[in-house]
Amino acid sequence: MGLMDKLRGELVDIIEWLEDSRSLLAWRFPRYQNEIKQGAQLIVREGQQAIFVYRGQLADVFGPGSYTLNTESLPIMSTIQGWKYGFNSPFRSEVYFVNTRPVTDLRWGTSTPVTIRDPDFGMVQVRANGLCIVRVMDPPTFLRQVIGTDSSVDVEEITELIRRVITQAFSDLILQTGLGAIDLQGRQAELADKLRELVAGRVDDEFGLAIDSITMNVSLPDEITQAMTRGVAKGVEEAGWLGQLGDLNRYQQAKQADAMTQAASNPGGSGGMGDAMGFGLGMAMAQQMAQQANQQTTQQAQTPPPLVDDAQAFHVELNGQAAGPYNVGQLRGMVEQGQLTPSTLVWSPGMAGWAQAVSVPALRNFFAAPPPLPPAAASGSNA
């Protein structure tokens, strides 16, 4: 340092930080040999805090405002340096300015997928990403744990730290909730609040940071997204039949099975089921494929095929599936055996939709109770 720089440093009596960048979190005020003169002015602007450090020890902390530096405004520094009656000569100290304004554009994302157990699709790997708003809440702790002896600290220096903490907290959160993949997407706002609480608890005391907000977007494997899209499209087409049948649980099970079997039948397709979802999902697919024939029968039975030979034949709903066709004689036997009841759903070509058997004219007589005997016949039998 030249003579002029030395003199300029000794004559400067205003300590302030004019940096307006939100990316710089901390900055050490440069002074020749860190000497500060008696009566120097300290200016701390809104969104800043100033911290004095003497020989590695944290001393006085100043919030926004203008201060004249003397023994009264520096009580901790006076104690450390043993100023009993004030001082007239420059004293040595480091001054750090800390930016306490929030950083609003910190992006995060899971570097590797997190595997969860899904009730519909087996083992599923999900990813997440979003934005995080972070700020320095406790400057002294931030100084001790993050700044150290650095002359400045940029937001990039804490970005990787925050990302690691969020990723681990996200993994812990979804394992604790036990939610399936589809539920994770449907409750993203609620889970984002819980994720913020988890992350905040891991960076406040440890690093002096506060997490004001976290947004979260959960991403599912392409195979599941495509299966969901196909299921919604088919559901719109089949809404009329579902309104007649009124059994949404069976429909949902059929759609889930369809999604699994479709993905399993194309392991080398887009995305690769084995690559995207792992061997665990393959085991779940194998279990679903064992029931593939029955599930496909249920789906195909949504619109019963018309009969060619016998227009009086009926399809019957038995154990949640469409069976038949049966002619009228066969249905009479089913009534006697208790398989066909008045509330059993039946359908025949020409009918608008499924209806209860007792409401069909051709079958109504099967459930009619015999009329009471006439009085003469009843008295003759008693005699």
pLDDT digits (tens, 9 = 90+) for 288-311: 444 554 555 455 444 444 333 344
* Residue with the larger pLDDT of the pair 7 and 136: 136
- Which CATH code fits 103-219? 3.30.479.30
314-367 folds as Dna Ligase; domain 1 (3.30.1490)
| Contact (CB, 8 A) for 128 and 109 | yes
Q: Does 343 have pLDDT greater than 80? A: yes
% residues pLDDT > 90 (the chain): 30
Q: Does 358 have pLDDT greater than 70? A: yes
Q: What pLDDT score was predicted for residue 295?
A: 54
Q: What pLDDT score was predicted for residue 204?
A: 92
pLDDT digits (tens, 9 = 90+) for 98-150: 999 999 989 999 888 888 888 877 888 889 999 999 999 999 999 999 998 88
* Residue with the larger pLDDT of the pair 242 and 90: 90
Q: Does 4 have pLDDT greater than 80? A: no
What mean pLDDT value characterizes the chain? 76
* Residue with the larger pLDDT of the pair 375 and 189: 189
Q: Does 229 have pLDDT greater than 60? A: yes
